């Protein structure tokens, strides 16, 4: 059984992938999406989006990383997929699930779920453009506004010879509102043979085992759950091995934050580091009272040096 770290845009960048795969339990990563319109991106754009291309398309801790592409036109996506593979990408993932209005308005993400033909054409064109040993995968939602479309969409992806399909078990119009409708996955599996990765509303070990019970998938993807509990992948692996599950607590989480700030500063700059560290601390505070106390006290700080000083003080 493999556990995948979800490619959350504006969240799971190189620094977050490096941080979370260091903790352990993550078997596979996917980059934030690289938006493709009608042009071939220069190599520098790929290397910025996925610095792991310099290290065999793996994080420093050995976890494989696929490059995710998003767009509505098959040929440009295929050209960019070819370039990513030439740069060393271990796989290409195609984003048909992003619900952001700005993305959908520009013919990307979940808006493609309205047309199975377009999804088939894109997956088929990209599949034919890259070597057969390189996985080409797709990530979808159950549909744009009608979950009954999910079977037809999955069949289109399968017929285009995708290697596997990740399903976020909500429609675009559902957004991230609970619940995730895991029960659609067994229905899809009745009509297809493609390997399916289940995704959505896995916040803890109990949720994971419920998802396994409902979907009977071999592999699972986790997104927002790892932001509030960075140890969830490791905890799931411990539970699968019937080992003692180490509880998530502030004492274990807090040393990660100063390291994350420093790495984000090196990756972009210190203002970026302030923004991303606040973002992560807010997510941690959803499930941890001590993290919330720290967040409430430093969320108003904007100057990087002041923020970093207080962060170190609170996490010492």
Which residues are designated catalytic? 98
φ/ψ (deg, to 5) at 72: -115, 0
User: Which 3 state secondary structure label does DSSP give 261?
Assistant: helix
Helix then strand then coil, in percent of the chain rounded to 5, is 50, 15, 35
DSSP 115-178: -HHHHHHHHHHHHHHS-TTS-EEEEEES-SS-GGGHHHHHHHHHHTT-SEEEEESS-TTTTT-S
Among 83, 84, 10, 72, smallest CA distance to 36 is for 72
Among 1, 2, 6, smallest CA distance to 167 is for 6
232-240 and 205-215 are packed helices; what angle lies between their axes, rounded to 10 degrees?
60
């Amino acid at each position: 059984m493999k556990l995948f770290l979800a490619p959350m845009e504006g969240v799971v960048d190189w620094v977050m992938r490096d941080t979370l795969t260091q903790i352990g339990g993550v078997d596979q990563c996917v980059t934030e999406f690289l938006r493709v319109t009608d042009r071939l991106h220069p190599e520098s754009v790929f290397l910025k989006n996925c610095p792991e291309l310099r290290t065999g398309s793996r994080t420093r801790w050995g976890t494989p990383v696929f490059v995710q592409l998003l767009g509505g036109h098959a040929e440009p996506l295929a050209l960019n997929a070819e370039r990513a593979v030439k740069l060393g990408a271990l796989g290409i993932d195609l984003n048909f699930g992003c619900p952001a209005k700005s993305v959908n308005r520009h013919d990307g993400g979940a808006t493609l779920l309205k047309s199975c033909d377009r999804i088939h054409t894109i997956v088929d064109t990209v599949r034919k453009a890259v070597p057969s040993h390189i996985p080409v995968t797709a990530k979808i939602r159950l549909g744009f506004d009608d979950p009954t479309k999910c079977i037809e969409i999955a069949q289109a992806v399968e017929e285009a010879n995708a290697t596997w399909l990740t399903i976020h078990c909500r429609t675009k119009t559902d957004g991230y509102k609970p619940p995730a409708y895991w029960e659609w996955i067994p229905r899809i599996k009745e009509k297809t043979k493609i390997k399916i990765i289940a995704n959505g509303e896995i916040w803890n070990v109990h949720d994971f085992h419920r998802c396994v019970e409902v979907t009977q998938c071999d592999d699972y993807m986790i997104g927002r759950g790892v932001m509030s509990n960075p140890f969830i992948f490791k905890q799931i692996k411990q539970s699968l091995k019937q080992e003692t599950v180490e509880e998530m607590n502030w004492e274990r989480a807090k040393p990660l934050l100063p390291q994350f700030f420093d790495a984000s500063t090196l990756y972009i700059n210190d203002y970026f580091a302030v923004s991303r560290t606040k973002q992560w601390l807010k997510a941690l505070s959803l499930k941890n009272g001590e993290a919330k106390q720290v967040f409430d006290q430093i969320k108003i700080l904007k100057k990087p040096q002041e923020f970093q000083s207080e962060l170190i003080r609170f996490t010492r």
